[in-house]
Structure 1
């Protein structure tokens, strides 16, 4: 088992986990830029099929998240971290050699299996390693790997596609994910040494559902933005279509560092409600001000909201779980990631296809506003206020 001492946060295992996350999400960032253009270009699809291809991974990931959570509580975190990263590498490499939408959808389903294992185990390991009083801070710093990956992955994907083609982009993404698997091997097992309770174990951590609904609305909006930001930037005449995604990632990274301790100082669900309100404002600006300036202002507001959303919601969720329930809590909470990041692009893709991308952003703004109202109401319930 990995050694954890007192209130120290930046242990070798914590740092190694964060670097492994950086590699995994850089590979994801390459695919975020590459996949929609690949589907609407060489594959010959339209915006709706691009949304379908982007979001279909959620089907397999959603089904398997609760089982992954249970397995991490029984087997440990490291097997799923390593296996998930290796399976993602395989799916990304194979994408380079397929030429039909059906095969791309099949590989995206495989990537959903990989994501279920890697992300559920990663969040559970993070909860193991973080001192309880610094959970929000730990989530904020650890998430830098995700957002740096989403910041630099798309420009890397754009560079690779423009200089070497789609095949090279997929192969490089697969290699980066394989490197993350090697890093995960060095983390050690973080699961508590206490015996796993006997008897039947629940797949769903019920106390995670109420805050998870608010988290879902944030993720649905983020999923729609990630899917259509590059296409929208190109449509309104931005010279570099990856600039909005890069800006989004950088703003989140800088603000996560600057405001890392906010979720530990204020009730996290109230922070989550405020974050959703900021996200709604940013998406509304991007939807109504259809120029490069409007898009960039909207991106900054959206990123400011996202800065606080994930640490706030996960802090609220893990506060309801004992050490032996962290895998189940992670599996339940991250199932909402699949529903949001998978379902959001599919549903908003239909809106974009029928009415245009600005209307898809407007629908996302309405969704996050409803989520803010729901989360604020939940924060007033005594059993959920933290």
Structure 2
């Protein structure tokens, strides 16, 4: 399984994740400094809006022109956006750039997951998704911590240009990958015509629904944790993301193997139980140690759920439409993140006392996810 292709895609995934996540902790204060505090919820919501809209296109293109061009396009968007943040210094310019920046995650992760499924043995797919998730999550942890460090000692402009440089490194690694789609087509604008049948892979709907419910909480985390961290006494707003990701890394490898051995659904249920508990604790334990406890458990939860959902999506997909299936799952992911960010930002309004109730609500949605997956379990026919 550990071929040069697989290792290269994992390292590239780490850098890609770090490039845009390193901005997350500092964007709320950056937007507020421009007079846009009331638009904080749009920082994530606009990003995920275009990411979600672009998923049907990225899925179709991944299955037609190839995995590599789709990955490269997303990384190029990250590189360009990092250069433009210091230039577009108005609130509306910033929001427009966030809207465009979302195309990065709308394209690259869809093709990356499909690429991984092409280059690893089928019987080790869960394990492979777990390891690729480790790489992506490492970027998720290192990015915010590095971003906060750069802003603390330098400036916003240095932070934005650093984001572009990391995206460039990811791009260079992607360029050294060999295409894995056997019969690829040349790009033509007709491929951008999307019909209803191109949007959703109905066979992948069950994992997509669970993904939606699970990632609403992630949208809330991205939007509110910087302020919640500051409220409980942390200077570096990226500490939560470090603890969350380290915890996630520790469990992903094992969880991926377990989903290969014991089935995706059993592993997902365990992950959802951890998720509802962690979100409740994040809201209830409003101290430094309490927040870190919640962060650690949240990392365990997402480390268990994420690779199993990715592998389950591939299990249910049609062989020639794996990109479409992954795009369906990612549409649900982006919808969940965007809805969580938008609603929490709208309700929050810089009132710290409202954060616990928001976290409790997300915990309840994880419980709904458990009920759903147990209800439909007997109707799902797979070979796992």
Aligned to 1:11: 3
Partner of 1:272: 268
Deviates more, 1:280-289 or 1:315-324: 315-324
1:25 pairs with one of 4, 11, 17: 17
Q: Distance in 2 between matches of 1:65 and 1:336?
A: 10
Residue pair 2:252, 2:307 contacting (<8 A) in 1 also: no
1:34 to 9, 13, 26: 26
Structure 1 contact 34–169 (Cα < 8 Å) conserved: no
Rounded Cα–Cα distance in structure 1 between residues aligned with 2:184 and 2:175: 22
- 2:348 is aligned, of 328, 352, 359, to 352
8 Å CA contact retained: 1:82, 1:182: no
RMSD of aligned Cα (Å)? 1.9
Which one of 96, 102, 122 corresponds to residue 106 of structure 1? Answer: 96
Match of 1:301 among 294, 297, 302: 297
Aligned to 1:377: 375
> How big is each residue's C-alpha offset from its partner over 1:77-107, in whole Å with a ceiling of 9 and x where there is no partner?
1111111101111112211222222112211
Equivalences for 1:1-386 in 2 at 5 Å?
Answer: 9-40=1-32, 42-46=33-37, 48-193=38-183, 202-353=198-349, 356-383=354-381, 386=384
**Cα distance per residue 1:200-248 (max 9 Å; x no partner):** 9744211111221111111111121122212101011124332111100
The SS at the match of 2:200 is coil
Alpha-carbon displacement from aligned partner over 1:38-80 (angstroms, at most 9, x marks no partner) = 123x22233x521212221122221220121111111001111
Q: CA deviation at 1:26?
A: 0.7
Mapped partners of 2:280, 2:154: distance in 1: 37
Matched positions, count = 373
CA distance in 2, matches of 1:382, 1:242: 40
Offset, 1:128 = 1.0
Farther-moved stretch of structure 1 (269-278 vs 174-183): 269-278
**How far apart are the structure 1 equivalents of 2:14 and 2:301?**
21
CA change 1:221–1:178 in 2 (3 A) is same
Tell me if structure 1 keeps the 8 A contact 2:64–2:185.
Answer: no
Per the alignment, in what secondary structure is the counterpart of residue 96 of structure 1? coil
Cα pair distance change 1:194/1:300, threshold 3 Å: same
Contact kept, 8 Å, 1:280 with 1:368, in 2: the verdict is yes
* Secondary structure at 1:261 match in 2: helix
TM-score (norm 1): 0.92
**CA distance in structure 1 between the partners assigned to 2:73 and 2:368 by the alignment:** 37
Deviation at 1:385, TM superposition (A): 7.3
TM-score, with structure 2 as normaliser: 0.92
Report the Cα offset of residue 259 of structure 1: 3.6
Q: Does the residue aligned with 1:264 lie in a helix, a strand or coil?
A: helix
Give the whole-Å Cα distance in 2 for the aligned partners of 1:223 and 1:146.
17
Gaps spanning 5+ residues in structure 1: where? 1-8
- Contact 1:86–1:181 at 8 Å: present in 2 too? yes
